Every structure is written in C-alpha cells, then in structure tokens.
Amino acid sequence: MPRKIAAGNWKMNGTSAALAELETLAGSSVPDGVDVLICPPTPLISRAAAIAGTVNIGGQDCHAKTSGAHTGDVSAEMLLDAGAGYVILGHSERRSDHAETDADVCAKTLATIAAGLIAVVCVGETLDERDTGETLQVVCGQLAASLPDNATGATCIVAYEPVWAIGTGKVPTLTQIGEVHDAMRTALVARFGDDGENFSLLYGGSVKASNAAEIFDVSNVDGALVGGASLKAADFVPIIAALAAS
C-alpha cells in the first residue's frame, strides 16, 4: 500500500523567520496515516529538523556524487547529516533552470537511495506537450528514465507536476490527473511487479485547501507536492486534513 504524503516545497523562500511556520505546523498534530514533509531551503534544514517533531524534513536537490570539487552543491549524505530524510529530485525548475536531464535525475536518485534518503522524483509535461497529445508518453518516458532499477516503493515517491500548473493557479481536470496517475501506476507495476503498487504518487501544481479534497479522491493520487500553499501553516494544515480524510 502506498503511504499518504503531504509534501511542502518551500523552493527559494524563507529565512530563519520562516521556521515559525514550521513550528506551528509541528504543533498541530499530524493525522494518523499521513506523512507530512517540508522541504525548506538548504541553509534551514538542520534548524528545521531540530524543531520538526513528527514533520519530516527534506532537501530540494542533491548532487549525484558523495563529495568532491562541486562548488555550491550538496550531497545526499550531507542532507542526511543535516537531519533530512527525503530529497526532491528532478523538479521542473531544476530541469529548466539547471538543464537537468532524466539521466542526471536517475544518478541523483541512485545516490539518494545509497545514502538512505527517500527520493521524491518529479515528472511532468509542458503545455506544448499536453496540447500536442504527448502527455502520457512524456511523463512515462521521464518516469522510466529517472528511476533506477533498484528503486522501490519504500525508497522512491513519484510526483506528477504538469509544468504549466506550477505556480499558475491552473490545474488539470480531475480526469486528466487520473489518466496520468493511472498510467504511472501501470508503468510502475509493469517494471517493478507488485512493488509498483507501493510507490506513493503525488500530484503537484497549484494545490490549495479549496481543491485538495477533490484531487485526493482521484484514483492513484496518494498525496500532493505543494509549493505556494505550503509556506504558511494555516494554508497547509487544511491540505493535510483533506488527505487524512480521503
């Protein structure tokens, strides 16, 4: 069975003052059966981990190597050492801002698994790709090439994030979300057998309190990866509650 996961991606937002939001979140009890994850900017990880309580802390990217001459990068081991248990990999902003390829994401996922962290591997089509009917091909292609052969439902989570829905307020229809999530599940079972059923499949892109419940009712949606609405505890808590109720 996949775990239900409410994940927050703070992106490049927040200095120490933002830890007050995490403190509020940690103080509001996490419902049974839901894992809550917050991925703050790297400089906040160790302080976040110290106050997170039952909220899990993750990084937003890591390097594929364990150490070396890679100025500005952090390794999966460093994230683990700082108190993270998870790391987001292959977010579309990494793929576009840093030209990350599926092969890069796959190498990072391997490093993440080796370090003992859980990878949140992101995939998603652009608006052009959706308009030309390539969505399933693009998403399943990214999924196949971004997950290494040793990926398991215990070590990897998949987040479907249509690029055009991120930070735009635009959300695919529930039917469109269901089509992609069903296709991802089928592809995971075809590749990993019964364990393919155990990968949590998150939807991401303009999730907020007002649309979370209907998205969580879609088949094969096991949670959400939330950007803007994860920055304030008051916005994120109702999303967690909607997931618990789904």
Q: Under the phi-then-psi rule, with left for phi > 0, alpha for psi from -120 to 50, and beta for the rest, what region is 131?
A: alpha
Classify 117 as helix, strand or coil: coil
> For residues 89 and 120, is the Cβ–Cβ distance under 8 A?
yes
Minimal distance in Å, beta carbon 141 to ligand PGA?
20
Question: Does residue 109 bind ligand PGA (CB under 6 A)?
Answer: no
Distance (Å, whole) CA 150 – CA 191: 11
Of the candidate residues 156, 166, 180, 215, the single one contacting ligand PGA (CB under 6 A):
166
Question: Does residue 161 bind ligand PGA (CB under 6 A)?
Answer: yes
Distance (Å, whole) CA 147 – CA 132: 25
Nearer to ligand PGA, 114 or 209 (CB): 209
Query: 54: how many CB neighbours lie within 10 A of its CB?
Result: 10
Question: Does residue 226 bind ligand PGA (CB under 6 A)?
Answer: yes
Give residue number: closest CB to ligand PGA.
227
Q: Is the dihedral of CA 68, 69, 74, 78 positive or negative?
A: positive
Classify 226 as helix, strand or coil: strand
Region from 25-33, 35-43, 145-153, 200-208 binding ligand PGA, contact rule CB under 6 A: 200-208
Respond yes or no: is residue 134 known to be catalytic. no
Distance (Å, whole) CA 145 – CA 158: 13
> Per the residue annotation, which of 77, 129, 161, 181 is the catalytic one?
161
Respond yes or no: is residue 21 known to be catalytic. no
Region from 109-117, 129-137, 148-156, 160-168 binding ligand PGA, contact rule CB under 6 A: 160-168
Question: Does residue 227 bind ligand PGA (CB under 6 A)?
Answer: yes
Distance (Å, whole) CA 86 – CA 36: 11
Question: Does residue 172 bind ligand PGA (CB under 6 A)?
Answer: no
Interface mask (CB under 6 A) for ligand PGA, residues 203-222, using x and -? -xxxx---------------
Question: Which residues are known catalytic residues?
Answer: 91, 161
Residues that bind ligand PGA (CB under 6 A): 9, 161, 166-167, 204-207, 225-229
